[in-house]
Amino acid sequence: MEKFSFKNQLENLVRNPETHSYLLAVSGGADSMVLASLFKGLGLNFQIAHINYKLRGEDSDLDQKTVQDFCEKNHIRFHLYEVSEKDNKPENSIQLWAREIRYRFFREIQEQENLEFLVTAHHLNDQLETFIINLSKASGISGLSGIPANKNKIIRPLLNFSKKEIYGYAEENRIDFREDLSNKKSDYLRNKIRNEIAPKLLEINEHFLENFRKSSSYLNQTRDFVEKRIEEIENKLTVFNSEHKILSKEKLGQESAFVQFEILKKYGFDKEEEISKIFTAENGSSFFSKDYQLMISRDELIFISKNQRQETKDEIILVENFDFSEIQMDISLEDTIENIDGINNSFEWDFDAAKLQFPLRLRKQQDGDEFYPADFSGKKKVSKFFRDEKLSILARPKIWILCDSYNSVLGIIPLRQDRRYASDEKTQSILKIFNEKKK
């Protein structure tokens, strides 16, 4: 392992690396201290972050000191997070807990310091361990491809270097580092693979790790090819892709189980039993993943990002009261309600003010809502009215219900007024509510 070979790996991940800024995650171990030394030697713009989990007493503090001393000696900005009681350390799942803490801390520092890339010191041996873990989980080609070298602005330039190469570089360049003795314990799955399984594989074939390095490269190329092909298929199935992604349910259902899984997995739906339910679910059904809501609308699958949802008021007071000394009061909704695609948003309703119970308000549909639609006989449930109007699932949440202080429905905006409250030849005071369709 040499500085120039590391630079080549870095340039494969980031074009013109000297023009970017980085946050290095440094634990004090050989791999991360070598990473920091290489970045320093290349004169790159970087800062360092360290987490003291307080799990190993004095050893944890000595790890912190090793990293801190390196930063002070080399005039590198140092960021420290010390775990305390407020972090609520669990009895189990320590690794997951620690991972959540460090990545939250790293993101905060990146945002505060405007640092473009997070850099971690994962190496080839870590990649082998991950491969074996994912092999036991039947995680598919994505899992077998292992730790990505560059994803979501997280880069791992040491992935092609073995632990032996990294230790050799540290010794040759007299780089101080600390050994984490807890890694010698086989109490976690990764440690068990690291201490018991991986050494046996390396004993069987002295070229095993080098062959794995090549195999890992082939797997990554295969994954990239498959992902490109899946994207091409998804584009053909896409009905609409603006505010929300909408796929043809029928066409996706005709694809292989593999294609269905790969596409739905992108939106967080990766359980076989859940995927099966998606294709048999009734119209109007919804499924939820961490980041998406999937809505079934006839022959469409609608993916709504939770991050892109706009907060909408549940209720708007429209008219507090009516001055009956006036013959007419006009209320425009042009700046109050959202226009709805595919619906004529212009309307003009005249109400007999004497028939209304103020204040009037706008709210969303509620169970049991019913009204007497103009130009129809009898009454109708609002839910049935929506179905009869063939309103899409995406349009319905945008519809406002106009109601009075008794919660009686006065109209469904912008579709239909309740005829009971409309003005007539006997009306003396008119409340006009209208909206002009925006071009």
Q: Give the span between the Cα atoms of 111 and 249, in whole angstroms.
A: 39
Q: What is the DSSP letter of 418?
A: B
**Does residue 15 have a pLDDT over 50?**
yes
Mean pLDDT over 270-279 rounds to 88
| 31 annotated to bind ligand | yes
pLDDT band at 427 (very low <50, low <70, confident <90, very high): very high
What is the pLDDT, as a whole number, of residue 241? 66
pTM of the model: 0.67
Confidence (pLDDT) at 256: 94
Cα 357 from chain centre:
45
Task: Strands of 199-358 (E only): list them.
Answer: 238-241, 245-248, 286-288, 292-297, 300-305, 315-319, 328-332, 347-352
Q: CA-based angle 262:265:267, to the nearest 5?
A: 130
| pLDDT of res. 312 | 53
Helix crossing, 3-13 with 30-41: angle to 10°?
A: 90
Percent of the chain with pLDDT over 70: 97
**Across residues 286-305, what is the average pLDDT?**
87
- Show the tokens assigned to 287: 């499924």
- pLDDT at site 32: 96
Q: What is the pLDDT of residue 126?
A: 94
Per DSSP, helices labelled H in 272-429 are: 272-280, 382-388
439 pLDDT above the threshold of 80: no
What is the C-alpha to C-alpha distance for residues 396 and 388, in angstroms, rounded to an integer? 12
pLDDT at 10: 95
pLDDT one-digit tens code per residue, 281-291? 888 788 888 88
Task: Please tell me whether 29 is known to bind a ligand.
Answer: yes
CATH class of 315-435: alpha beta
Q: Exposed, middle or buried: residue 144 (CB in 10 Å: 0-12, 13-18, 19+)?
A: buried
Instruction: Name the average pLDDT for the chain.
Output: 90
Where are the chain's structural domains? 3-220, 242-305, 315-435
H-helix or E-strand containing 50? strand 45-52
Q: If we measure between CA atoms, which residue out of 29, 70, 63, 30 comes closest to residue 48? A: 70
Beta carbons within 8 Å of 312's beta carbon, 6+ residues apart: 397
* Residue 32 annotated as lining a ligand binding site: yes
Which is the CATH superfamily of the domain at 3-220? Answer: HUPs (3.40.50.620)
164-203: per-residue pLDDT in tens?
999 999 999 999 999 877 777 777 788 899 899 999 999 9
With a cut of 80, say whether residue 225 has pLDDT above it: yes
Higher pLDDT, 370 or 185: 370
Q: What are phi and psi of 207, to 5 degrees?
A: -100, 15
pLDDT digits (tens, 9 = 90+) for 237-260: 998 766 778 899 999 999 999 999
- The answer on pLDDT for 79 being more than 90 is yes
The reply to whether 30 sits in an annotated binding site is yes
Reported as type and span, the H/E element at residue 361 is strand 360-363
Asked if 286 contacts 394 with a C-beta cutoff of 8 angstroms, the reply is no
CA distance 183 to 195: 8
C-alpha–C-alpha distance, residues 166 and 170, integer Å:
6
**pLDDT value for 157:** 96
